[in-house]
A and B are shown apart, each in its own frame.
Chain A
């Protein structure tokens, strides 16, 4: 039985209505989806277009006539900054070296106090320093200039962190922008975000293979993919990508999309750090900014866009070279480069920067300190996303010298002391004596390791490094102690608690009778130190430590011999206050912070506060000079020029677990620690482990001699060392010692011209 026509019609109608309903539901759903995608993409693009890690810069190298920077070290500095050595000056970032001169084309740079223009200058100098600097274009002499600072790292989120160095389209090399299009998306400036032909071809291939394949993406699609999407390959994702690409094109210009692409595209991996964009890739692979890249270098970068893990230039140089040459061929064929340029570029080696990690991430231990100091003041988010420009105190020259010492000297120590290879660890800190600026940090013998940082976090007993603070506390009481006060080097027992008696002994297990105070410090005798400390009381010694900038000393007599846990950086702090004549400056690693636009945000000014009296600090430094001249560190002058006065102290802990040396010149404070991570004895004392490393470092740094001039409240007097009494010219072997004025010894030594005759003669004149 046939259905009535009406019923059939109504069925059809209902069906159509149903279909229309379904279609409209789908349309509404689709519209909502598109609107959501639209919102997502606009949010992403406009608000947080890129997460920009803070960029961390070293201190710029200052250049002025008279600086004691040997010309070859300046040349080395230029190479470290990625300057190219050429035969005739090219653009910024190049230099010409001749005997006694360097022509340098410097890069422009936005410093805290303003923009410094790119300059072409002539530097004359020698192996001792720089004699003159002049502007090559005007011939005028330059008083003072500085090189652009080295980018030493960035602060990016610890997990899956994206790192990038922003570049603007206007600043990007033309060949990069055009070359990218030639290889990745010829039709970029004409299409609407997608290439219909490309999609059709991909679909055909996909359908015929039954798999979803990569490829045929426009630059816009690639950008979307980098922005939002995982690398999963499904039809759904592909459709989303196409939709977003079209949406992106409706909201933003081609130039904006290109600029975003240049900064967003994934360019490689460095441990946990993802290298994004051509700005960072340029320094990561070539250690120079994009504007200075040559044709073959640009071709390499454009080549690896296709797949940075597949085309990792450091791991697969052969494959990458093929890819680079293919890019060069495409460029030549499309007329972007001339045939001869193609030939010469093709003949070039890859030209990757020597260090495995390019210009960034060279000094992880230092960047850790910077991050810590910043974290107190900026939220994580600001540090990892806002592109702050952090200007630090790191001196690449000093850092390199310190690294060199630990890298070379620890294995040498292991060899000469017959220790198992690889067991010794070490750490070091160098600061500027007056400004308290941290100039170098090494956190372990693997100087590129970004993990455990011994310089900041390995708190170990400091042994005799504590002694100067006991003697300083004594010298702060000039009515009781002076530099030559005889101290008894005799056994002493200290009752720590009911059943705990402490009986320290000397390192050499010998007794030395009565010794002048400075000799007890210079020879690092334990017994007189403990006696002195007990006389003064623990509180006074704690106060001396606090005045120097360390506040966590336990209230125990054992601190006199260094039962205080301190990290090398803490030690650098307290010795820095001694080096700065008692003026305490909290050690700082940061000078300035700028916004990503280069606007000054914050300056970390010098902070100086007199916390210890100058006279007693001078006397302590004087005694610490004797440590090096005649005491436990005298072997240092086998390495350092004896004309250079330096002060310092050896430190050794029980069973030879820790070997320390801390000391200073007029311009640098340096602390070295050597020991084992498992706290096992090393067989090294402060004098045999850390001291030679310190001494070579001081030699390499070309330091300035300590100023021997006493401050106003200190006077020198001739003393007979045998009796500790006032000497005169008739005393053989008399030494000139400094005293707090007003508290000089008055009693004359037996060798001196009669004590009695002189005053009585004088009295006779008055009374007769």
Chain B
């Protein structure tokens, strides 16, 4: 018995830790996919969702095809702030910001977005819009932090996150971090595959 126990123990230890590592490596270390799989469509700022949004056993390493057995995406996931359940004044401020930016007034757009954040400080969509604005104004560091903040507040909504990784990639390009930009781009592509029909 003794001679069997040790290898079993080691094997299972390895297995458990491998599973755990696959399941949830922090995004910055995980070029693979699978960490982002929404189970609940929680809008933003609002309710509390359980943490179990992680699909165990996703492969890591270089981009790999997703297994066919992945659970279907929640059809109620918001694809834009308009359908996210954000408060009406927040949506109108984001719209106003878009208009200001279109009219070449980025400072005014920033003021509107910050006003929106004062109303809903943890609205991932607004943080994303702020990041996009700072890409336009060439403030890479700021834009990257805001996109990451949006990822962390976004509760693994892939639609939101795809755009955030694009922004992170742009932000890194602005800062001359080519490798970092490519890494972010890979994450974006992986997510894109995840939601592909």
Contact = CB atoms under 8 A, between A and B. Distances in A.
Contacts of B107: 600, 603
B48 A143 contact: no
B152 A144 contact: no
Contacts of B13: 746
Contact of B122 (A113, A707, A738, A759): A707
Nearest to B141: A609
A713 interface: yes
Contacts of B73: none
A756 interface: yes
A605 interface: yes
A608 interface: yes
B124 to A, nearest CB: 12
B192 interface: no
Given A144-B93, A713-B27, A583 B48 contact: no
B134 to A, nearest CB: 9
B146 interface: yes
B21 interface: yes
A415 to B, nearest CB: 38
Interface in B8-24: 8-9, 11-13, 15-17, 20-21, 23-24
Interface stretch (A60-68, A333-341, A524-532): A60-68
A742 B20 contact: yes
A712 B36 contact: yes
Nearest to A706: B48
Contacts of B108: 113
A62 B119 contact: yes
A433 B118 CA distance: 10
Nearest to A613: B26
Interface string A423-462: 0000000001111010000000000000000000000000
A763 B11 contact: yes
Contacts of B130: 606
A756 B8 contact: yes
A605 B121 contact: no
A680 interface: no
Contacts of A763: 8, 11-12
Contact of B89 (A144, A605, A716, A738): A144
A713 B148 CA distance: 13
A741 B16 CA distance: 12
Interface string A444-485: 000000000000000000000000000000000000000000
Given A144-B93, A713-B25, A666 B122 contact: yes
A489 interface: no
A712 B27 contact: yes
Contacts of A67: 119
Given A715-B23, A715-B54, A610 B145 contact: yes
Given A603-B111, A610-B149, A614-B152, A143 B51 contact: no
Given A113-B108, A434-B121, A742-B21, A583 B145 contact: yes
A741 B54 contact: yes
Contact of A144 (B92, B142, B149): B92
Contacts of B48: 707-709
B118 A432 contact: yes
Contact of A712 (B24, B50, B87, B92): B24
Contact of A741 (B5, B24, B152): B24
Q: What secondary structure prevails in chain B residues at the interface with A?
A: helix
B8 A66 contact: no
B61 to A, nearest CB: 15
A592 B16 CA distance: 54
Contact of B114 (A600, A606, A740, A762): A606
Classify the interface of chain A: helix, strand, loop or mixed: loop
Contacts of B50: 709
A615 B26 contact: yes
Given A64-B87, A435-B118, A605 B26 contact: no
Interface string B82-93: 000001110011
A747 to B, nearest CB: 9
Interface string B130-146: 10000000000110011
Contacts of B156: 712
B110 interface: yes
B169 interface: no
A715 B149 CA distance: 19
Given A605-B114, A741-B24, A712 B148 contact: no
Contacts of B4: 760
Nearest to A746: B16
> Which residue among A64, A610, A666, A709 has the maximum number of chain B CB atoms within 10 Å of its CB?
A709
A382 to B, nearest CB: 21
Contact of A143 (B12, B88, B117, B118): B88
B117 A712 contact: no
B33 interface: no
A131 interface: no
B51 A714 contact: yes
A64 B48 CA distance: 24
Given A143-B89, A432-B121, A434-B117, A713 B24 contact: yes
A607 interface: yes
Among B27, B118, B156, find the residue whose CB has the most chain A CB atoms closer than 10 A.
B118
A608 B145 contact: yes
A434 B88 CA distance: 20
Given A605-B114, A714-B51, A65 B27 contact: no
Contacts of A715: 20, 23-24, 51, 54
A430 B152 CA distance: 24
A744 interface: yes
Contacts of B8: 756, 759-760, 763
A144 B86 CA distance: 14
A467 to B, nearest CB: 25
A583 B148 CA distance: 10
B64 interface: no
Nearest to B93: A144
Contact of B152 (A609, A711, A743): A711
A744 B117 contact: no
Interface string B41-59: 0000000111101100000
B172 interface: no
Contacts of B117: 434-435, 606
A746 B17 contact: yes
A727 B124 CA distance: 35
A700 to B, nearest CB: 20
B112 interface: yes
Contact of A607 (B12, B51, B142): B142
A710 interface: yes
Contacts of A712: 24, 26-27, 35-36, 53-54, 151-152, 156
B187 to A, nearest CB: 12
B23 A610 contact: no
B155 interface: yes
A64 B12 contact: no
Nearest to A605: B110
Nearest to A602: B107
Given A712-B24, A715-B24, 14 more contacts: A62-B119, A143-B89, A435-B118, A583-B145, A606-B114, A608-B145, A608-B146, A609-B142, A708-B48, A712-B54, A713-B24, A715-B20, A715-B51, A763-B8
28 contacts: A64-B88, A113-B108, A433-B121, A434-B121, A583-B145, A603-B110, A603-B111, A605-B110, A609-B141, A609-B142, A614-B152, A666-B121, A667-B121, A707-B48, A709-B49, A710-B51, A712-B24, A712-B152, A714-B51, A715-B51, A741-B24, A742-B17, A742-B20, A744-B20, A746-B16, A746-B17, A760-B8, A762-B12
Interface of A: 62, 64-67, 112-113, 143-144, 432-435, 437, 581, 583, 592, 600, 603, 605-610, 613-615, 666-667, 707-716, 738, 740-744, 746, 756, 759-760, 762-763
Interface of B: 4-5, 8-9, 11-13, 15-17, 20-21, 23-27, 35-36, 48-51, 53-54, 87-89, 92-93, 107-108, 110-112, 114-115, 117-119, 121-122, 130, 141-142, 145-146, 148-149, 151-152, 155-156
